Amino acid sequence: MSEQEKKQDYAADNIQVLEGLEAVRKRPAMYIGDVGVKGLHHLVYEVVDNSIDEALAGHCDTIDVLINEDNSITVKDNGRGIPTAMHTKEKKSALEVVMTVLHAGGKFDKDTYKVSGGLHGVGVSCVNALSSDLRATVHRDGKIFQQEYKIGVPQYEVKEIGTASDTGTEVRFLPDASIFETTVYNYDTLAARMRELAFLNKGITITLTDLRNKDEEGKHIGQTFYSEEGLNEFVKYLDRNREPLLEDTVYFEGEKDGIPVEVAMTYNTSYTENIQAYVNNINTHEGGTHLSGFRRGLTNTLKKYATDSGMLAKEKVEIEGDDFREGLTAVVSVKVQEPQFEGQTKTKLGNREVTAPVSQAVSQMLADYLEEHPNEAKIIVQKVILAAKARQAARKAREMVQRKNVMSGSGLPGKLADCSSKDPAECEIYLVEGDSAGGTAKQGRDRNFQAIMPLRGKILNVEKAMQHKIFENEEIKNIYTALGVRVGTEDDSKALNMEKLRYHKVIIMCDADVDGSHIETLILTFFFRYMKEMIENGYVYIATPPLYQVKKGAKSQYAWDDDQRDRLIQELKGSGSESSVGVQRYKGLGEMNAEQLWDTTMNPEYRTLRQVTIENAAECDQVFSMLMGEDVPPRREFIERNAKYANIDV
C-alpha cells in the first residue's frame, strides 16, 4: 500500500468510527443518562472505571484524578497501559480502537475479569465523543505513546513521544461545552464517588486533586482515598455518627458459585435500616436479587438463633423480616459478569442466580459470628424483639390512619386546600411552613392545579422517633392522607403504594432562613426515610422564594442572592428619575403578599423549582443521620458551614 493509499484507508476507517460516535453526540442522554451535572460527572466515573478494571485484574494499585484549572479532568493509572500495537482487523493501533469504537474497551483482554463499568457501561470512547479535546498517553514497552482527539476524531495517528521506565495510562479530557449544560466540576461529588470506590475496591489508592483553587497556605485541595479493610471500613464510615450496638462489624468476603460476594454489617441504636447494595461498584438503589439474598440469609439465621435461644418464647412475640433490620447498617457488594438491570431507574438487579450465593454467604458469616460472640448475639436478639413490639404498635397506628381515610367523607385533611383538577400529572401540592404563609399561598395560588397544605411549626424528627410515633403524628398523617398514598404493597410491606397518588409535584415551601432550612431538612428526611419512592420518581421539589425586593418608585424587582441584589440596585440607580432605591430583605414567606408570592415562587412561568434527587445513596443516608440524629455537635457544625445538603442534589 502506498503512503497515499494508507492515508485514504485511514480516513475511510475513521468515517465508520465517526458514525458510531456521531450517534453518541446526537443522543448523549441515551449513553450517559443526561447532559446536566450528573452526566458531566459520569464522564469521570467512566474513565476511572477502566482503571479500576485494570486494578481488579491485579495490574494497578494507584489512580490519580485531577480537576484541572480549565475544568478538564486527568485520570492516570499505573496499570499495564492500553495496548498500542496494530489491531489487525481494524488496521490501526489498539489504543485508537479503544478510544474511538463504541464498546471496544474490553475486546483485547478476554481473560481478565471485567466487571467494573459505569451504570451505562459505555466505555471511554463515549467520553471521547463528548469531549472537545482528549489526549491519551500510554507508557508501555519502555516508550511513551500519544494520540489526541477532538469530539472523538483522532488528530493524528498514535505516535511515540519518548521513553518510559514505568507503565500506565493517562487520559485528559475537556467536556464539550456545546453538549453539557454545565462544565464545572463539583469537588465534593467526585470525592464522594472516589471514597466509595476506594471502600468497594480495597487496596487501591485513589487520589483526587483540585487544581482550580488553593487554600490559605497555597496548597491545592485534595484527598487520598484508600481502604485496607474494604466494606468493613465502609460500614464503620456510614455509621460514624451513630452509636454502635456491636463493637465490631460482621464481615464476609469470598466467592460463592463463582460469584464474588463481599458483605459487612453492624447494628446501631437507631431505628433506621441502611443497607447499601452494589453490583459491579454501582449502587443499586432499587435493590434486586442480591438484596433479597442478603435479607433471606439474615432473617433465616437470626430467626433460627433467636428461636433456639428460647428468648422468643419467653417474650411471646412473633418476629418478621423487618424486625431484623431496625438499626442495621450493611453493605453488600457482588460482582456479576452479565448483570441485568431492571426497574424505574435501571438500578435493580434481575439475575436470579445471585440470590442463593449471597444468602449462603450471609448465613455462614452470621452463624459464625453469633456462635463466637454470645454477648453480642444476645444484644441483637433483644433489639429484634424490641423492634417486633414497636412494629405491632406501629401497625395499629397506621391502620387507624388508613381506616379513617376510607370512612370519613372526602377523607382529606381539613387543613388541605385542594385543587380542582383530579389529574395527578398536572396537580401540585405545596407543603407550606406555618399557617400564616399557608394562608397567603391559598390566596395567591392557581386553584385549578395547585393545592396548599400548611404544616404547623416543626414536623416530627423521624430520625429520632420510633415508627409508631411517626404514624401517630398529626402532620405526618395529614401528608399521607393528602397525597393519597399508603404504606405496603403486595410484595413489600414497607413499600409505598402510589397507585392513588394525587399529585405528581410535591413542593416544599419554607422560609429562606435558618429555621426554614431546618424545617425543609425535617420534611426531606421524612420523605427520604418513609417515601423514598416519591423522590426516586422525581416527584419532590423545593420552592425557592426570593431573598430581596429591590424597589424604586413604582418599579420593583426580586433578587435570589446578594450579587443579583447588587446588580439590580446598580441598574435601578442608573435609571433616571429622582426617587431613591430601597431594598427589602424577606425574612419569611409571611412578609410577601399573595401576589408577590405567586409572582416569585408559585407561578410556573417564573418560579424556579429545585428537584430533589438522590445522588449518592450511601452518603445521603449519612447526611440525614448526621443532620437529624442524636449526635448534635457535627450537625450544628454542618448546618452552620453549609445550609444545604452535601449529596442530595437539589
Which residues are marked as active site?
A: 433, 511, 513, 515
82 binds ligand 0RA (CB under 6 A): yes
Q: How far is the CB of 169 from ligand 0RA (least distance, A)?
A: 4
Amino acid in the structure at residue 237: Y
169 versus 525: smaller Cβ distance to ligand 0RA: 169
Least gap, CB of 253 to ligand 0RA (angstroms): 25
Residue 369 CB, nearest distance to ligand 0RA (Å)?
38
Contact of 614 with 535, CB cutoff 8 Å: yes
Q: How far is the CB of 173 from ligand 0RA (least distance, A)?
A: 13
Q: Determine contact, residues 591/600, Cβ cutoff 8 Å.
A: no
Minimal distance, residue 165 CB to ligand 0RA, in Å: 17
CA distance 163 to 462: 61
The x, y and z cell numbers of residue 191, run together, are: 470525592
Residue 168 pairs with which residues in a beta bridge? 139
Based on CB atoms, which residue is closest to ligand 0RA, 78 or 525?
A: 78
Position among 13, 77, 428, 433 found at the interface with ligand 0RA (CB under 6 A): 77
User: Going by DSSP bridges, is the β-strand pair 159-163/86-87 parallel, antiparallel, or unpaired?
Assistant: unpaired
Name which of residues 143 to 172 contact ligand 0RA (CB under 6 A): 169
**Helices 514-530 and 617-628 sit at what angle, rounded to 10 degrees?**
130
How many whole angstroms from its chain centre is CA 122?
20
Binding mask 41-70 for ligand 0RA (x = CB under 6 A): ---------xx--x----------------
CB closer to ligand 0RA, 80 vs 415:
80
- Angle between the N-to-C axes of helices 514-530 and 632-641, in degrees from 0 to 180, rounded to the nearest 10: 120
Among 28, 79, 230, 438, contact with ligand 0RA (rule: CB under 6 A): 79
User: What is the x/- site pattern for ligand 0RA, positions 399-438, by CB under 6 A?
Assistant: ----------------------------------------
Nearest approach in angstroms of CB 131 to ligand 0RA is: 15
Nearer to ligand 0RA, 58 or 634 (CB): 58
Q: How many CA atoms lie within 13 A of 359 on its CB side?
A: 14
Across-strand partners of 341? 349
Question: End-to-end distance of the chain based on CA atoms, in angstroms?
Answer: 58
What's the CA angle centered on 266, arms 261 and 271, to 5 degrees? Answer: 125
Q: What does DSSP say about strands 348-349 and 341-342: parallel, antiparallel, or unpaired?
A: antiparallel
Question: Total residues at the site for ligand 0RA (CB under 6 A)?
Answer: 11
Nearer to ligand 0RA, 51 or 280 (CB): 51
Stretch that binds ligand 0RA, among 73-81, 232-240, 418-426, 600-608 (CB under 6 A): 73-81
The one among 10, 22, 25, 108 contacting ligand 0RA by CB under 6 A: 108
DSSP codes of every residue in 195-262: HHHHHHSTT-EEEEEEEEEE-TTSPEEEEEE--SSTHHHHHHHHTTTS-BSSSS-EEEEEEETTEEEE
Helices 617-628 and 231-238 sit at what angle, rounded to 10 degrees?
30
The window from 76-84, 444-452, 461-469, 470-478 that contacts ligand 0RA (CB under 6 A) reads 76-84
Report 566-595 residues binding ligand 0RA (CB under 6 A).
Answer: none
Report how far residue 304's alpha carbon sits from residue 367's, in angstroms, rounded to the nearest whole number: 10
Which residue's CB is nearer to ligand 0RA, number 57 or number 390? 57
Choose between 108 and 638: whose C-beta lies nearer to ligand 0RA. 108
Coil, helix or strand at residue 505: strand
Segment near ligand 0RA (CB under 6 A); pick from 80-88, 347-355, 434-442, 522-530: 80-88
| Residue ranges with strand state E in 546-620 | 548-552, 555-559, 581-585, 609-611
Tell me how far, at minimum, the Cβ of 167 lies from ligand 0RA, in Å: 8
In angstroms, the CA 344 to CA 492 distance is 16
If the CB atoms of residues 77 and 433 are measured against ligand 0RA, the closer one turns out to be 77
Q: 136, 82 in Cβ contact below 8 A?
A: yes
For residue 551, the minimal CB distance to ligand 0RA (Å) is 58
Q: At what angle do helices 632-641 and 617-628 cross, to 10 degrees?
A: 110
Q: Residue 13 or residue 54: which is nearer to ligand 0RA going by CB?
A: 54
CB of 99 to ligand 0RA, least distance (A): 10
Binding site for ligand 0RA (CB under 6 A): 50-51, 54, 77, 79-80, 82-83, 108-109, 169
